[in-house]
Amino acid sequence: MILQGVSVCPGCTLSRSYLLAEPPAFDLAKKADEPVADALRRIDEAFASIAAELTASKEEYAAAGACEQADLMDVQMAMLEDSFFRDQITAAAEAGLAPSAAVLSSGKEQEDMLLALNDDYMSARAEDIHDLSLRIACQIEGLARPDLSGLTEDCVVIAKQLLPSTLMSAKVEHIKGLVIGNGTKTSHVSILASGLQIPTVVGCGNVSMVKEGETVYLDGEKGTLCCAMSAEELAACEKELNAFRKQRETLLTYGTRSFESRDGVKSGLYMNITDPCELLRPADCTNDGVGLFRSEFLFLDRKTLPSEEEQYEAYAQAAKALGGRPLTIRTIDIGGDKNAPALALPQEENPFMGYRAVRICMDRSDLILTQLRAILRAAVHGDIRVMFPMIATVSELDVMLDYLKLAASQLTKENISHRADIKVGIMVEIPSAVIMLDQLLARIDFVSIGSNDLVQYTFAADRLNEKVSYLNKFMHPAVLRLIHQTVSVTREHGKECSLCGEMAGDRVGLAALAILGLRKFSMSSSKLLRAKRLMSMLDLGALRSLQEPLLHARDAEEAVALLKQSLPGEYFGA
């Protein structure tokens, strides 16, 4: 039997299943059998106890360099200290609910409100509230929560739901895979699992079909779990696992190789990161630096904006870890599918087409100046570059450049050490930027194509809307023509051009981009090794003749078919 879910972290494993117990059941309408003052006291004690646990855990994780876990402690502490959440609980207790019911019913109100927004990011925040509410309720009632801290053997953990706090307390060395019934790619559990490099599948609704202790095969890249296997199916999975291990061994041989094609054409290979801590992990693949630092993740899940000092420390840490290799920092790209509570942004019917990124910064000089000051200060520690997202017009870029000059001027007047001569670029993700690229390039040093948003804005189709998902294809010739024009015009002006969207890490996308003339690729660290192997199979001189047919294909399917007919057969098995 094959169960299908959503891939979060790649990798294959064959192991015994471990069914995680479900959390205790609570009556959210239970009435208190004690005076209100006693109920409130018990709630206060539970809050204090959990605050102490979170503080201790954060210190432990920070000391061990476990940044994702330490950051999650901050998230839960912020929710614990939220006055609105606390006031709701107090009101529920004063209305006669038992302490645990007061906590859980108040939490559920917030969960339902966030889930009603039908947004992946907000759904993940609802998960965090549920986690904390359950933790408080169990503390009040003296009940145990689902626990993975006692694992003694290797296993694939099967769970209808897995709370972030449960994973963080686990003996992760025994967890060879995770299969979760609910969840999304952007949930905190998914982020943690990716950081821990545990093969993970979420949104697998049929996990109840798995039996305790049976042998299961998890393919994290395909997002599948094989269970209830016959002897023949088990043998097939063992064969597939051996092939995966051999492939992994082969990929590791590319770790220190240069990123070049079979005919010797060299390209730049860069990482996309969201946290400086990603640079502290042992690297299995050499690269040329960071092509995209998503700085907005410093702003998410918090009630207050990060200070200049906090941002400076994060950027400086990343620059130092790179040892002189470039660090390209994208300025805050909030809006669309990313929200920062501290900014109190208005709800919009179509946020992807609305108030986001530089459009917010143009109104909030305090926001962008604080960030630019931090970037310029951190630039003394390495080759830091700044990149502005969502540029649609020349006038928007001019405003951002004026802010950059002002930030440098302020630091000079305050006699604060900084570098003002850093390279400046933009994200090319709106068709108008491609059309006006000659004028934009006269003001900047480089561009980076954001293929995810470029596809979205080319077809005016929300990439999170399943009903128009048929338009979300980066191999469509309309997108390929925009990319080719960007690469060509940038080269004519003697400037750098890269691509940092999902297309760079896709085997078909990588080949198409190389054929179109791109020579600088940025992708998640997990895709670097395979990219090196794939590039080594391409004879770009021979494939140059495919450029025109790709640009004049009828649709994405025809473009992909052209590549499959022309690329070596082993390319699609690598």
Active site amino acids = 188, 500
Q: Any bridge partners for residue 7, and if so which? A: 201
3-state secondary structure of 269: strand
Identify the DSSP state of 425: E
With the C-alpha atoms ordered 337, 195, 182, 56, is the resulting torsion angle positive or negative? negative
Q: How far is CA 277 from the centre of its chain?
A: 14
Characterize the bridge pairing of strands 268-273 and 290-294: parallel
> Helices marked H in 323-427 — which ranges?
358-361, 365-378, 394-413
Instruction: Report residue 227: phi and psi, to 5°.
Output: -140, 175
Three-state DSSP at 537 gives coil
Backbone angles phi, psi at 526, to 5 degrees: -70, -15
Q: Name the residue type at position 131.
A: D
- DSSP secondary structure string for all residues of 140-204: HHT-PPP--TT--S-EEEEES---HHHHHTS-GGGEEEEEESS--TTSHHHHHHHHTT--EEE--
CA distance 362 to 372: 13
Residues in the chain: 574
CB 202 within 8 A of CB 5: yes
447 burial via Cβ count (<10 Å: 0-12, 13-18, 19+): buried
d(CA 137, CA 133): 6
The torsion angles phi and psi of 169, rounded to 5 degrees, stand at -95, 5
CA 535 to chain centre: 25
DSSP state of 338: B
Spatial separation of the C-alpha atoms in residues 280 and 318, rounded to whole Å: 9
Q: Cβ(510)–Cβ(499) under 8 Å?
A: no
206-228 exposure pattern, b = at least 16 Cβ within 10 A, e = fewer: ebeebeeeebbbbbbeebbbbbe
Q: How far apart are CA 291 and CA 524, in angstroms?
A: 10
Q: How many CA atoms lie within 13 A of 177 on its CB side?
A: 28
The amino acid present at 183, given as its one-letter code, is G
Residue with tokens 């305790």: 212
User: What DSSP designation does 274 have?
Assistant: S
The Cα 253–Cα 75 span in angstroms is: 39
Q: At what angle do helices 36-63 and 99-115 cross, to 10 degrees?
A: 60
Q: Quote the CA–CA distance of 478 and 555 in Å, as a whole number.
A: 8
